[in-house]
Structure 1
Amino acid sequence: MDKRDNISEPKAAALGLQHLLAMYSGSVLVPILIATALKFNSEQMTYLVSIDIFMCGVATALQIFTNKVFGIGLPVILGCAVQSVAPLIMIGQKFDIQTMYGAIIAAGFFVFLISGAFAKLRRFFPPLVTGTLITVIGLSLIPVAFQNIGGGSTTAKSFGSLPNLLLGIITVLLILAINVWGRGFIRSIAILIGLVAGTVIGGFMHMVSLAPVAQASWFHVPTPFYFGTPHFEWSSILTMVLISLVSMVESTGVFFALGDIVGRKIGEDDLKKGYRAEGLAVMLGGVFNTFPYTTFSQNVGLVQLSGIKSRKPVMYSAGFLVLLGLLPKIGALATIIPTPVLGGAMLVMFGMVAVQGIRMLQQVDFNNDKNLLVAAISIGLGLGVTVQPEIVQFLPKNIQLFCSSGILMASLSAVILNILFNSRNPQPEMKSDAGLNEKD
């Protein structure tokens, strides 16, 4: 029986909450990680998490309420793009927060402008390129997870202490246990349960302070340019433009997968409106001082699991996200999570990102030595500058930002080498379900 149209409001609301919970932890981790790395205070971090939740709802609404200009009209959820974490931290540290947000706004404008042409450019992003890139994204972030498991700052006396390591390991084991023995909905929120349970355990270990929650207000209004007027710097903009291209490639796979599930053929016009919605969401993220938004692949599994093909549950999700984002005390709850707990969750999440890249690479013919070289050199360059960023320390500051990003180096290497080696024998395009994190 087709459940697409006949769905009650209470059931739609419950399913909407499930979508929210499945994406919540993955999305709020991005502002927490960036704010921690840039040493935001508790008030700034609370604002950041709250406005991020609010903007997730706005970004999702832009995508599901389709019109002639933007919105693909599929049951999609948008959240902060995890691949933007490392580049944004790098921009914030080398320049300043205003430059970081200027780069986000410019990248969103770029995505909006090229949305019509990008469908024709997808041939430059076959599984060989996309899989290599996503693998590097996951692997390059794993050291950050380990740093957080140790306690955050490597210069702190408590870094690597037994309580920190124990709490990080417990969090990982909890998430693994839920994925092994959990079913359906419970399994889909394994990361969230791990974060909550790890925080509770951390409380018993005297590693949690509720002061940020007590200090946070009950209600706030989103404020444009909360952290100041944006600055526009060319190397930072180029960095975020390349990251946005990666997000567009990932979103393309999600769009096709959802089209298959709901029985709708996705054409070039649909893709164009979907990219435009993401471009608008990224621009608004920069204006309201949050981060780039992209379509979340993990929610595709929930659509498949529930069998509900209607957009109505996702409309509820968007409404819930907007409501929660207006209540800073709820946003402050996410800031009390101990750093080792975040590290444990990050280890699982970033490891899964790397494995998704490897799954994409399974579509590649590695009997062809040229494909082996493209992947090998690109992964080597990406991880090399990630582990040893000092290798470019004598280059000009703007060039340093560009060359010290493993994600950017891997992107350029994979695209250029693929063009050089495979221009006469183009690689097959990415399958619609490649790399998706589907839930059983």
Structure 2
Amino acid sequence: MSVKSSSPDVSIDNIYKLDGRVPVAKAIPFGLQHVMAMFVSNLAPIAMVCGVAKLLGSDQTGISGIELARLLQSAMFIAGLGTLIQLYPVWRIGAKLPVVMGVSFTFVATLTYIATNFNYQTMIGAIIVGGCVEGCLGLTYRYWKRIVSPIVSACVVTTIGFSLLSVGARSFGGGYVDDFGAPKYMIVGLITLLSCIIFSALAKGFLKQLNVMFGLVVGYIVSFIVGIISIQQLLKQFSTTINEVGFIALPRILPYKPVFNISAVLSIVVVFFVSAAETIGDTTAVVAGGLDRDITEKEISGSLACDGFLSAVSGLLGCTPITSFSQNVGLIAMTKVVNRFTIMFGALTLILAGLFPPIGAFFSTLPQPVLGGCTIMMFGTIVVSGMNMIGKCGFNQRNTIIAALSISIGIGFTQTPDIFNYFPKIIADIFAGNSVAGVFVLSMLMNFILPKDMDVKKLAGM
């Protein structure tokens, strides 16, 4: 009798523990909750990059619907695989924590620049090299953990948000189309955005995390009404995908032969440093918010190694880099559900979705204004998060100089790229279209150069 009465309580308690047995019936809905919170955001970056990418040897801009469906399939598969390895590490790769992985927005601005000014194959080559670099950084974390200070991370996160604002605005207005900004695109983008806001304001509990999904559904329906997409177009996409790819298919390895360009590689490596700083923050937040303790060096090392090496694997599948997802960090902090077995069902769901190309075919038909409406506020939220991080660092003289100078030069110079005309070409290729790289390098340099006690000396002089 005592065993029967206590078992339900044990299963409930285990949901809030990192390890422990949880009934499958209870584990599945909590795992699916994490997938719903990040599903759209996981697909949006690759869709945005592919919408403007150039293929080597082709004069056409963009990637065909069939190719995009394959890549979206890969995005779902690699996100699930990365999450699974974070939960259950392989050697020293993985944190053994409930860190949910997905395709990163951090790289969108830089990848868009490379994919349009070089080509998609060059972008893939840079991703593979950059991922291996971050993976090695993760394995050697103990030797450099003091280099990236909080003010550097704060400046970088703020700049990431600013650099993505134009990407969101471009999607909001219809993407790269001849009638960019036409009323039909603006109406769909606005209705999608308002749907996300209203749902977030009215929903309760973890349902708030589904505001992007709700906006996606509403925006997609409105797209049919205004004629951006049609039933015939959707059915044709499904039919073509099933005929050419199949109903079930494994993601392809090396669908695009990588091209290695030194300036593209260096540009991406800089952003991988930025991604590493973000991953450290997300993993730390998971431990602090979900487990109420300090993170260990081993956990950060494993998380970074997974972030990097799985991004390289993502490149081998023709997809863009992956990283830890902040919205899932917030979900863990709110629900306190950290059980690895429970969240594993979310990872398995993503992997299964990646094995069915028709799912990718459906999401490949998402109109750009719907993506813009779903993501433009998210990009603005990244700016606000960065500002909050700067505020937590403190607005003393040293931090103010680092933030003000790095952001003003890093962003300002990319808005006037002709300023790089007399620089070596490799410098121009890295920094002319990549404000994140500029801010990261400048803030790192100033963090090393400026004396740590400059504010103390100022007070002493007074």
Asked whether the two chains share a fold, i.e. TM above 0.5, the reply is yes
Letter in 2 for 1:299: N
Higher gyration radius (CA): 2
Q: Does 1:138 align with 2:161?
A: yes
Q: Secondary structure at the match of 2:51?
A: helix
Q: Does 1:164 align with 2:193?
A: no
**Counterpart of 2:112?**
89
Q: Does 1:10 align with 2:18?
A: no
1:374 to 402, 415, 428: 402
State the number of aligned residues: 423
1:391-430 to structure 2, matched below 5 A, reads: 391-393=419-421, 395-404=423-432, 405-424=434-453
Q: 5+ unaligned residues in a row in structure 2: which ranges?
A: 1-8, 54-61, 457-462
Contact 2:51/2:176 (<8 A) preserved: no
**Counterpart of 1:117?**
140
**Counterpart of 1:207?**
228
**Counterpart of 1:71?**
94
**Counterpart of 2:200?**
179
Q: Secondary structure at the match of 2:94?
A: coil
Separation in 2 of the partners of 1:317 and 1:387? 41
**Counterpart of 2:348?**
319
Residues 415, 321 of structure 1: alpha-carbon distance in 2 compared, 3 angstrom cutoff: same
Contact 1:90/1:401 (<8 A) preserved: no
1:343-358 to structure 2, matched below 5 A, reads: 343-358=372-387
Separation in 2 of the partners of 1:16 and 1:425? 49
Offset at residue 265 of structure 1 (A)? 4.2
Offset at residue 111 of structure 1 (A)? 1.5
**Counterpart of 2:330?**
301
Letter in 1 for 2:64: N
**Counterpart of 1:232?**
260
Q: Does 1:50 align with 2:73?
A: yes
Offset at residue 279 of structure 1 (A)? 2.0
2:306 to 252, 277, 282: 277
Deviation readout 1:376-427 (Å, 9 max, x if unpaired): 1111123223433344356554332212111111111111112111445799
Residues 393, 43 of structure 1: alpha-carbon distance in 2 compared, 3 angstrom cutoff: farther
Contact 2:37/2:210 (<8 A) preserved: yes
TM-score scaled to structure 1, two decimals? 0.91
Contact 1:91/1:99 (<8 A) preserved: yes
Separation in 2 of the partners of 1:333 and 1:390? 41
**Counterpart of 1:108?**
131
% identical equivalent positions: 29
Offset at residue 128 of structure 1 (A)? 1.6
Residues 67, 161 of structure 1: alpha-carbon distance in 2 compared, 3 angstrom cutoff: closer
Offset at residue 187 of structure 1 (A)? 0.9
Separation in 1 of the partners of 2:133 and 2:149? 22
Separation in 1 of the partners of 2:114 and 2:329? 32
Q: CA RMSD in A?
A: 2.0
2:50 to 13, 19, 35: 35
Separation in 2 of the partners of 1:238 and 1:315? 35
Offset at residue 68 of structure 1 (A)? 4.0
Moved more, 34-43 or 211-220: 211-220
Separation in 1 of the partners of 2:305 and 2:172? 38
Deviation readout 1:201-256 (Å, 9 max, x if unpaired): 1111111131323321222221111012x122222111111111111111112222
Separation in 2 of the partners of 1:144 and 1:113? 31
Q: Does 1:251 align with 2:279?
A: yes
Letter in 1 for 2:157: I
Residues 92, 365 of structure 1: alpha-carbon distance in 2 compared, 3 angstrom cutoff: same
Separation in 2 of the partners of 1:394 and 1:93? 22
Q: 5+ unaligned residues in a row in structure 1: which ranges?
A: 428-440
Deviation readout 1:319-356 (Å, 9 max, x if unpaired): 11111011111111112122111111221111111111
Separation in 1 of the partners of 2:452 and 2:294? 29
2:250 to 221, 229, 248: 221
Offset at residue 275 of structure 1 (A)? 1.6
Q: Secondary structure at the match of 2:166?
A: helix
**Counterpart of 2:6?**
none
Residues 191, 94 of structure 1: alpha-carbon distance in 2 compared, 3 angstrom cutoff: same
Separation in 1 of the partners of 2:145 and 2:37? 29
Separation in 2 of the partners of 1:412 and 1:291? 23
Q: Secondary structure at the match of 2:102?
A: strand
Contact 1:142/1:346 (<8 A) preserved: no
Letter in 2 for 1:345: C
Separation in 2 of the partners of 1:292 and 1:173? 30
Offset at residue 112 of structure 1 (A)? 2.0
Letter in 2 for 1:232: F
Letter in 1 for 2:439: A
TM-score scaled to structure 2, two decimals? 0.87
Contact 2:109/2:167 (<8 A) preserved: no
Residues 139, 320 of structure 1: alpha-carbon distance in 2 compared, 3 angstrom cutoff: same
Q: Secondary structure at the match of 1:189?
A: helix
Letter in 2 for 1:60: T
Contact 2:123/2:264 (<8 A) preserved: yes
Contact 1:70/1:274 (<8 A) preserved: yes
Letter in 2 for 1:54: F
Offset at residue 263 of structure 1 (A)? 4.4
Offset at residue 119 of structure 1 (A)? 4.2
Q: Secondary structure at the match of 1:363?
A: helix
